[in-house]
Amino acid sequence: MAFTHQHLLGLEGLSRDEILFLIDTADSFKEISERDIKKVPTLRGKTVVGLFYEASTRTRTSFEIAAKRLSADYVSIASSTSSSTKGETLLDTARNIAAMRPDCLVIRHNASGAPHFLAQRIDCPVVNAGDGAHEHPTQALLDLLTIRDHVKRLDDLTVAIVGDILHSRVTRSNVHALKALGARVRLVGPPTLLPAEAAAWGEVHNDLHDGVRNADVIMMLRLQRERQGRNFLPSLDEYSRYFCLTRAALSAAAPNAVVLHPGPINRGVEIASDVADGAESLIMDQVTNGVAVRMAVLFLLANRARQPSVEAPAVAAEPAEAPRLRRKAG
Ligand code: ASP
């Protein structure tokens, strides 16, 4: 098995074997972070650029740590300090970065489809570090690795994903992967935060207790208020009264159920502190595994020979804001 794609744009369209290969590769990188000297020469001489147009703590830091543990040079660009503040388009920024010959471009953008847009126009592997409400492939891979570490399987699992499903790129990547791996998916949230396509992804629940009943894995989500253009909820208090994962709600889940959250958590809104910090919580394990997953992805992509872009680069259009959810992983 090999990962033959030039980019990692999403998990949609990836096969079960490809997803397992990515997780297995990540697994093999874990022990480097346990060493006293956390560095191997695997990507020495390679350059990785992180281009972040949205806030990020875990994803951004772990891509940088991952690159450095593999001895790649890592350059981090935040939109607030880039020439986008002077009116430069995303494409022009990316073309200028590509002209400096990096071996991999990691991009986070609030526009769904931005990484796909660039992947077709620059001759450098592109990794999607979260695009709008569309996909966040490395997050789902680290979620799966964490589940497998603790539950010891990825098939015959019931996974309840709870919260702001509508705006969650974490959900979309997880749904594609979990379905490819044969897990049963439940989408749990108020009707206003469930997209029309949720019914095609899995079982839909508007009640937290019903949604988590006998679930093996509960994945809690933050309310993505930066993506909510209008009021989707009567009040935050009311939301947490019905959808906050408390110890009482958790008691409906399967006896050894585990709790995940991609972070950042809003304590007392979607998850109670004693659950976030409790024995069932794998939140810190997810963060640890994030480094291994990003090492694996950089290892597989930054070693690629440069390939010509699919399209001529003289395209001025910018990606649309509207989520484009049907694109194929590249
Ligand atoms: N960190 C995740 C993301 O970037 C989840 C979140 O922000 O709530 O999508």
Rounded Cα–Cα distance for residues 246 and 48 (Å): 41
Q: How far is the CA of 311 from the centre of ligand 1 (A)?
A: 31
| Whether residues 159 and 220 fall in one domain | yes
Q: For residues 133 and 112, is the Cβ–Cβ distance under 8 A?
A: yes
Q: Is residue 122 part of a domain?
A: yes
Overall number of domains in the chain: 2
Same domain, 50 and 178: no
Task: Output phi, psi for 163, to 5 deg.
Answer: 130, -135
Q: b vs e for 243-252, b when ≥16 Cβ sit within 10 Å of the residue's Cβ?
A: bbbeeebbeb
227 Cβ below 6 A of ligand 1: no
Residue of 109, 116, 136, 169 marked catalytic: 136
272 and 168, same structural domain? yes
Asked whether the predicted pLDDT for residue 318 surpasses 50, the reply is: no
Label residue 60 by pLDDT band (50, 70, 90).
very high
Residues 48, 71: one domain? yes
Average pLDDT, the chain: 92
Evaluate whether 282 touches 259 at the Cβ level (below 8 Å): yes
Are 141 and 254 in a shared domain?
yes
Question: Both 303 and 274 in a single domain?
Answer: no
Structural domain harbouring 191:
137-285
Say which DSSP state 224 is in. Answer: -
For position 131, which CATH number holds?
A: 3.40.50.1370
- Residue 40 is classified by DSSP as -
Q: 157 and 125: one domain?
A: no
Question: 62 is written with which tokens?
Answer: 């772990």
Report the chain's terminal Cα–Cα distance, integer Å: 17
For 208-237, the pLDDT digits (tens) are 999 999 999 999 999 988 888 778 888 899
Residues 93 and 183 in one domain: no
309 pLDDT tier (thresholds 50, 70, 90)? low
Query: Does residue 257 share a domain with residue 145?
Result: yes
Q: What are the backbone angles phi and psi of residue 154, rounded to the nearest 5°? A: -125, -10
CA–CA distance, 130 with 137 (Å, rounded to integer): 7
Residue-wise pLDDT tens digits, 81-124: 888 888 999 999 999 999 999 999 999 999 999 999 999 999 99
Q: What is the mean pLDDT of residues 9-32?
A: 98
Tell me which of 136, 173, 220 to substitute to probe ligand 1's pocket, judged by most ligand atoms within 8 Å of the beta carbon: 136
Closest approach atom of ligand 1 to CA 108: 4
Whether 69 and 23 share a structural domain: yes
292 and 175 within one domain: no
Please indicate, yes or no, if residue 30 is contained in any of the structural domains.
Answer: yes
- Ligand 1 center from residue 164 Cα (angstroms): 11
Kindly state the average pLDDT of the residues 7-28.
Answer: 98
In the prediction, which pLDDT does 80 show? 85
Is 222 an active-site residue? no
Active site residue 179: no
Cβ pair 10, 175 in contact under 8 A: no
CA of 28 to the centre of ligand 1 (A): 25
